[in-house]
Amino acid sequence: MRAADRPASVARNIAWAMASQLGRQLIVFVTTIILARLLTPADFGLVGMATVFTGFAMIINDVGVSGALVQRAEIDERHRSSLFWLNQIVGLVLCGLTLALAPPIAAFFDAPQLVDILRVLSLIFVAGALGVVQQSLLIRAMDFRRLGAVETVAVLLAALVAVALALAGMGVWSLVWQLVLMPAFTTAGLWWLSDWRPSWRFDRPALAELVPFGLSMAGFNSVNYLARNLDYLVVGKFLGATALGFYTLAYRLMVYPLQSVSTAVSRVSFPALSRSAAEPERLVEGFLKMTKGVSVVTFPMVMGIFVVAPSFVEVVYGPDWLPAAQVLRILCFAGLVQSVGSTVGAVYQAIGRPHIQLRMALLNTSLTALALWLGLRWGLTGVATAYAGLAVVWVHFSLFVVTRIIGVPYGRMYARFLPPFAASLAMAGAVYAIGQVLPGPRAWVLLAEIASGAGLYALLMGLSGQVRWQGRRPSLVL
């Protein structure tokens, strides 16, 4: 077993990945609060419309190279340099397509302002493509400490620029340049950090060795992105920029636990599980520990957000954003299940079967489109309800499929979720009661709810035997 694959090393890398992810999410969270006070919901809605397209194109920009470089047992300079130059070609093509398609996309949303916004955002494809291979090599080496530092600094610098532009009265352009500068700063940091430099070599046979996995990964990521963003497309097209602004804020708040915890765990677990693919029991136990660890952190966060949503939105973002609170509560049902469902992808990739993941994503996208079409007649809450309802059903089905493939009993997996789910549910009920009876200003009541919820959840997890003490250090039972 390689040093990087040992349990202690994996746990240490998960800790680094989570720390950097939490740091980045905290920066984004605080920045969003500031920008929400300076900008309008329509500004956020316009950028939400633009990122439906650019986010999808960014996935194509990767062409599956990240997963292919991480998953393959052996790679050499032929693979690295060939994939680097392939990414540059794809990045330039996507930049040109964005410039050309900006007018019709703006016409689709009936938002003329999108033309210039999309043309500026086209720069992200060039900036992002330049750093993909360096990022993949750091993930392969499980060097999440240095990678996290680069990404966190990039997010911070982009956030500072965005706030400065908003204070200068630049409006929606503060959000646009934040999106452009984030990959630019990240790429600059990766080039400074990495010793690897591409040669002028472009080896087609080397690319052919990576194509099956890479294309399946790119296909899945593209289809999955479409499924995750069809709601943005529907709201922006049929309900307008202001409604999309409210939906964007609600979705961002719901997805914070997923991005802070699930993404970090999956990022580390993919290379770790890839090394365990030939040992079924190690793979199963790694998957179960991964999902249990995610649920312990995300379940209380999502349930807590559900309870305090109205107070939180009004106190933190201001009364103008209150329509987002009801949408946020509905989306929390999706967030609860998607947090553990997001771990499934790492298993398919680790065992070299991303084609199954792609087929599942195609089915999910079709069902999502149907659900959103049905929910649209009830407006913003209808779209949110359709999205959340399908997510609950789909994640259970997805977990059922993956447990059958790796040979773990369905009940064995759910038994791992029960303690954190029960503790989170009890905590949420107590926090709701506290909010109903506690007098005082809303801001102070909100702080009391958050503090009491965190303390009560920790107490319940300890009493249920889910946390053990090793000397003076608490240890989570996975």
What pLDDT is stored for residue 287 in this prediction? 83
Number of domains composing the chain? 1
* CA 319 – CA 313 distance, rounded (Å): 8
Q: Residues near 233 by Cβ (< 8 Å), separated by ≥ 6?
A: 52
Closest CA to 14 of 349, 263, 275, 298: 263
- Closest listed residue to residue 133, CA positions, set 123, 122, 147: 147
Q: From CA 377, how far away is CA 123, in angstroms rounded?
A: 37
Instruction: Please state the length of the chain.
Output: 478
Residue 194 has a pLDDT of: 84
| 350 Cβ contact list (under 8 Å, min separation 6) | 71, 269, 270, 273, 274, 276, 277, 283
The pTM for the full model equals 0.84
Paired with 18 in beta bridges are: none
Contact 265, 65 (CB under 8 A): no
Return the HEC string of the chain: CCHHHCHHHHHHHHHHHHHHHHHHHHHHHHHHHHHHHHCCHHHHHHHHHHHHHHHHHHHHHHCCHHHHHHHCCCCCHHHHHHHHHHHHHHHHHHHHHHHHHHHHHHHHHCCCCHHHHHHHHCHHHHHHHCCHHHHHHHHHCCCHHHHHHHHHHHHHHHHHHHHHHHHCCCCHHHHHHHHHHHHHHHHHHHHHHCCCCCCCCCCHHHHHHHHHHHHHHHHHHHHHHHHHHHHHHHHHHHCCHHHHHHHHHHHHHHHHHHHHHHHHHHHHHHHHHHHHCCCHHHHHHHHHHHHHHHHHHHHHHHHHHHHHHHHHHHHHHCHHHCHHHHHHHHHHHHHHHHHHHCCHHHHHHHCCCHHHHHHHHHHHHHHHHHHHHHHHHHHHHHHHHHHHHHHHHHHHHHHHHHHHHHCCCHHHHHHHHHHHHHHHHHHHHHHHHHHHHCCCCHHHHHHHHHHHHHHHHHHHHHHCCCEEEECCEEEECC
Count of CB atoms within 10 A of residue 199's CB? 13
Q: Is the dihedral of CA 457, 458, 464, 466 positive or negative?
A: positive
Q: How far is the C-alpha of 119 from the C-alpha of 107, rounded, in Å? A: 14
pLDDT in tens, the chain (478 residues): 444 445 555 667 667 777 787 888 899 999 999 999 999 999 999 999 999 888 888 777 666 566 667 766 677 888 788 888 888 988 999 999 999 999 999 999 999 999 999 999 999 999 988 988 888 888 877 777 888 899 999 999 999 999 999 999 999 999 999 999 999 999 999 999 888 898 888 888 877 777 666 676 677 777 878 888 899 999 999 999 999 999 999 999 998 877 777 666 666 666 667 666 667 777 788 888 888 888 888 999 999 999 999 999 999 999 999 999 999 999 999 999 998 887 787 787 777 777 787 788 889 989 999 999 999 999 999 999 999 999 999 999 999 998 888 888 888 888 888 899 999 999 999 999 999 998 888 899 999 999 999 999 999 988 887 776 665 666 666 6
Note the pLDDT of residue 210: 72
Output the CA torsion sign for 36, 154, 152, 302.
positive
Domain interval for residue 218: 3-476
pLDDT of res. 270:
65
The three-point CA angle 184-190-194 to 5° equals: 155
- Judged on CB neighbours under 10 Å (0-12, 13-18, 19+), 403 is buried
**Per-residue pLDDT, 65:** 60
Helices 323-341 & 379-406 angle (0-180, nearest 10): 10
pLDDT at 3: 47
